[in-house]
Amino acid sequence: MVFIVTGKQGEGKTTLIRNVVSQLILNGILVSGFYAEGSWLNDVRDQFTITDFRSNDTKVLCVSENRDFWLKYGRFFFDPIIIEWGELFLDPAFNKASQLYVIDEIGKFELEGKVWNHAFKLLLRKNKNILISVRDRLVDNVVQHFSLHSYFIFHVSEPVDDISTKIQEMLK
């Protein structure tokens, strides 16, 4: 089952995912994965960090300025070591007890086969329960590209309690 949180850029998808996952964890759901927070410089996103839900460790995933040996996707440079670090949280072999895997977010890079594409496809092949965020304008593309059949879509405006209750019911 794939649970999709959607909304526009900057509308609160990451905040909603953090709150939903916090509630799920309080209710005994074992979660693996991460959330990605962007920072702004002169009204433009200049970097993203990812934070592991289990350890709360945070690392810089990508920046808008050139970094040697980092991977350039769009206008960002991604640290390949941190991509591997994030993939560990999504590896079912490494996180066997997890009931839900969280990826914040699936978007244009994954549609191009980059960043979390491999990890997301692996979770889909293994029929794992996944919670992802997707920008509203890309939801249809993500559903079609990854051939999603069993999925629920939640808009960022929906209450945290409603979303976490629905996810808990579906996980049982």
Within-domain flag for 93:
yes
Q: Does some domain include residue 45? A: no
Mean pLDDT, the chain, integer: 95
Domain assignment present for 133: yes
Residue 44 lies in a domain: no
Question: Could you read off the pLDDT of 18-55 as tens digits, one per residue?
Answer: 999 999 999 999 999 999 999 888 888 899 999 999 99
Question: Residue 161: inside a domain, yes or no?
Answer: yes
Rounded to two decimals, the pTM is 0.95
Looking from the CA of 19 toward its CB, the CA atoms found within 13 Å total: 15
Its domain, for residue 19, covers 2-35+84-171
- pLDDT score of 95: 87
- DSSP per-residue letters across 80-109: HHHHHHHHHHT-TTT-TT-SEEEES---HH
How many domains, in total, are found in the chain? 1
Q: Do the strands 44-52 and 58-63 form a parallel or antiparallel pair, or are they unpaired? A: antiparallel
Query: 148 pLDDT exceeds 90?
Result: yes
In a domain, 160, yes or no: yes
Contact 37, 46 (CB under 8 A): no
How do residues 82-114 score in pLDDT, each as one tens digit?
Answer: 999 999 999 999 888 999 999 999 999 999 999
pLDDT at 172 over 90: no
In this prediction, residues 108-126 reach a mean pLDDT of: 96
Task: Please indicate, yes or no, if residue 55 is contained in any of the structural domains.
Answer: no
Q: Tell me, what CATH number does 24's domain have?
A: 3.40.50.300
**CA 84 to CA 135: how far, in whole Å?**
23
pLDDT at 16: 97
The three-class DSSP label of residue 172 is coil
Q: Is 143 contained in some domain?
A: yes
